[in-house]
Each structure stands twice: as structure tokens, then as C-alpha cells.
């Protein structure tokens, strides 16, 4: 089960490296920078924070601590906005 899953009303389009999230309920969209897009893609694919950080470390020039902090911030914001939720 992936670390994170999108809520039913959320659509994610990672096209061209800049991710777009659409909240179908509110009719609003959010644009992610390229790093946040990679983070979200990894969180939707891998089961644990360690796996996500390991995957990101192969693509982003940052320490594991920085990647963990960024991932925590991103998942927190997406959860607060009801765009995503931790996988059960």
C-alpha cells in the first residue's frame, strides 16, 4: 500500500514535470514545483518513507534529512487541504 493516496475528488497530472492537482469538489487547482511533483509521485508509488527518500535521493541532490522534511511538509499540506490522505 503506497505511503499516500489521493482523495476521491483529487486528480493529479504530473505532465511536463510540474504537477497539477485538481480538487474536483472545490473546482480549484494547485501547481507543484518539480521537486514536489517527484515527491508526490514517489509517495503514491512506494510503501514507506525510507523507500520514498531512497528513490528521491537518486534524483535530487539533497540529504536524506532534507528530503524527509520536504516530504513531511508536502504530505501535511496535501492532507490538510483534503487532496490526499495517508494510505490505510
Angstrom distance (rounded) from CA 72 to CA 37 = 14
Q: Is 26 in a helix, a strand, or coil?
A: coil
pLDDT at 15: 86
Mean pLDDT, the chain, rounded, equals 95
Percent of the chain with pLDDT over 70: 100
Domains detected in the chain: 4-82 (1.10.10)
Between CA 61 and CA 68, with CA 3 as vertex, the angle to 5 degrees is: 30
Q: Which tens digit of pLDDT belongs to each residue from 54-76?
A: 999 999 999 999 999 999 999 99
Q: Which residues pair with 20 in a beta bridge?
A: 13, 31
d(CA 1, CA 60): 24
Decide: residue 22, CB within 10 A, 0-12 exposed, 13-18 middle, 19+ buried. middle
Q: Is the pLDDT of residue 20 over 90?
A: yes
Amino acid at each position: 500500500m503506497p505511503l499516500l493516496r489521493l482523495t476521491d475528488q483529487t486528480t493529479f497530472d504530473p505532465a511536463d514535470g510540474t504537477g497539477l492537482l485538481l480538487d474536483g469538489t472545490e473546482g480549484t487547482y494547485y501547481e507543484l514545483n518539480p521537486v514536489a511533483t517527484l515527491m508526490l509521485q514517489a509517495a503514491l508509488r512506494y510503501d514507506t518513507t525510507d523507500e520514498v527518500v531512497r528513490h528521491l535521493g537518486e534524483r535530487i541532490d539533497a540529504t536524506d534529512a532534507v528530503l524527509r522534511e520536504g516530504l513531511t511538509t508536502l504530505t501535511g499540506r496535501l492532507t490538510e487541504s483534503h487532496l490526499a490522505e495517508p494510505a490505510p
